[in-house]
Structure formats: structure tokens, C-alpha cells
Structure 1
Amino acid sequence: MLKLPPPIWALLILILTAGASYMARWPIVPWAHSLSVGIGLIAISFIAPVWALILFRRAGTQINSTSATNNKLVTDGPFRFTRNPMYLGLVLLSLGVAVATGAILMFVAPILVFAIANWVHVPFEEAKMRRQFGPAFDAYARNVRRWL
């Protein structure tokens, strides 16, 4: 699971839940279905990840979450509010798709994306950052929440 880039596994989850929804004939949750809210969430989901990507490029550090090392600990921009703006974007994107479709099985996608990020990828990355940046990362982690 760590070898696949996070956007790829998030896309695979969306494809699998869409396939399951299709096979189940797209049962809709009426109170959770809103195309405009879903599209809004999808649009918002790109803000923090793109901002983080720009900051990583400017800092000259690795974007690949499975890289062996990182050149710099980035703590500004969206990283002032969340330690994981890119994963937060993936969760919001999958939630936006679920709300836009309204299909009950699509709401499994954001839960799975969150669970895999929170219990597989983030612990791996945080251990890597602790090894590399020690007290600087610990201080950052004490002051900035993992999610929001």
C-alpha cells in the first residue's frame, strides 16, 4: 500500500466504490445528495494540496510520500493548520464525489481514504520525519494537529 502514490490509491478506492454503487443500482441518500455542494467540496479539495505542492517545489524537498528522506521540514502555508494538507485534500475530494453522487456506497470512499491515510501513510511519514528532523518535527507536531 505504501508503494502506490496516495492519489492513485484514492482514485482506486473511488473506482471500486463507484463500481459497487453501479452494481447496487446507485441507491441514493436523499438528505446527503447535493451536486452543488459536492462540486464545491471537490473544488475546495484542491486548494491545500496544490499550495503544499508549490511550497514543496520552492523548498526543494520531496513530494513523494514514500521517499527515503526529505530535504526540508515544511511548516508554513497550509502546514500551519494541518500536518497533512495533501491527505486532507484527498479526503475532501472523495467526500465531494460522494455528496455529488449521493450514492450511499460512495460514502465508504472518504472513510477508507481517511483510514488508509491516518493508519498507514501518516504513521510511516511521521516516523520518517522524526528520524530526520528530531526535535524540530516533535515541536511542530505538538503545535499543529494531524488533521485540523
Structure 2
Amino acid sequence: MSRFSKWAQTEHSPGARIIALIPAGAIFLVFFPYLFLVICPSLDQRLLPDSPKPGVATLIIGGILIAVGMFFALWSIEVQFTRGRGTPLPMMPTQGLLTTGPFRYCRNPMTLGTILAYLGMSIAAATAIGVTLVLILAGLLVLYLKRVEEKELAERFGEDYLAYMRDVPFIIPKTPRAR
């Protein structure tokens, strides 16, 4: 058992978990939205002056993606915090394998949610730079999940996680009936 696996077994109090989530929340709920809704559109205006401006269609499509994405992201965090007795942060991981709630639809519902939400913000703001940045960051996140996190989860949860990997899709959810 690796040092990380031993360390991951440490259960933290709800108060400690909330305190750990505050800076992460600031990054994901303040910094990234500011980036995709303010900075990227400003860069588009300077670097791509002929790019399209936000309109009704971009606002509707973006709004739907933001709503669906935030739903999955926040639902995932709630389940990790309450049922998993952990956080989405690697330094305070869940104490057990989560396979219910949003985790029954895909193995990475928080990733799905954040990608959809940030893509929605970029579409709502009609920023090509924002959409491109979201896709690049999503690709990097998928690489991290595949190369680091899945190996750690397989080490921590063994055959249970490997069976979960076989049965549940990585990010693109299947409907309950299709599973």
C-alpha cells in the first residue's frame, strides 16, 4: 500500500472539510467564471474583433449548459462530502468508493459538471478563446484523471473500483435504462 493510500484513509471532520473547500470554491466559483465571462470576452474583442457577440441563442444554450453543469458539479460535491465523508480535493479524499447519486451515471460527474458549466459560460459570452480554453483545460483534466486519479482509486478500492470502471462510463453518462 502506497503512502498516499495510507494517508487517504485519514478521515477529517466536517469543519476541516468545509475549511478546505473554501479556497477551492473561490477558484471554481469565482476565478474561473470571471475568466470565462469577463477576461476571455475581453481578449476576444482585442484579438478577434470580428467574432460574434452574445445573442439570445448563445445565452439560452449557455444557460442550459451552466444549469446542468452546476447541478452535476454541486450534487457530486454534496455526495462526496456527506456520503463519502471527504471532499473532491486529493488531500481530503472520500473514505469509501462512491457509486450512487451522480456517480451511478458516470465515474466523474463533477468533471462533467464543471466542463459543461464553463463551456456554457463561454458560449453564453460568445467567446471563442473561452471555448478553446475550456476544451484545453478539459483535455488536461482528463489526462490527470486517467493517468493519476484512476490508478490511485484502483489501488485504494481494488476490485470494487475495477468493476465500477467496467460498468460505469468515464465522463459521458449513460441513462439508467441504458446501463
Normalising by structure 2, report the TM-score: 0.67
Indicate the residue corresponding to 1:99 in structure 2.
123
Distance 1:127 1:52, change over 3 A: same
Map of 2:27 onto structure 1: 8
Give the 3 Å change call, closer, same or farther, for CA 36–143 of structure 1 in structure 2: same
Alignment partners' CA distance in 1, 2:50 and 2:137: 20
| CA distance 1:99–1:133, change in 2 (3 Å) | same
In the TM superposition, what whole-angstrom CA distance separates every residue of 1:73-107 from its partner, at most 9, and x where no partner exists?
00011111111111111110111012112222221
Query: Contact 1:65–1:125 at 8 Å: present in 2 too?
Result: no
> Is 1:65–2:84 an aligned residue pair?
no
Deviation of residue 22 (structure 1)?
A: 4.0
Q: Percent identity?
A: 23
Compare relative contact order (CA 8 Å, sep 6+) and give the higher one, 1 or 2: 1
Q: Following superposition of structure 1 onto structure 2, how do residues 105-124 of structure 1 map, counting pairs within 5 Å?
A: 105-124=129-148
After superposition, the CA RMSD in angstroms is: 2.9
2:162 corresponds to 1:138: yes
Q: Which deviates the most, 122-131 or 89-98? A: 122-131
1:20 aligns with 2:43: yes
Secondary structure at the aligned position of 1:28 is classed as coil
Structure 2 matches for 1:47-66, cutoff 5 A?
47-66=71-90
Question: Partner amino acid for 2:74?
Answer: V
Alpha-carbon distance between aligned partners in 1 of 2:104 and 2:50, rounded to the nearest angstrom: 39
CA gap 1:13/1:6 in 2 versus in 1, 3 angstroms: farther
CA distance in 2, matches of 1:7, 1:87: 17
CA shift in 2, pair 1:114/1:26, >3 Å: farther
Can you give the 5+ residue segments of structure 1 that lack an aligned partner in the other structure?
A: none
- Larger Rg computed on CA atoms: 2
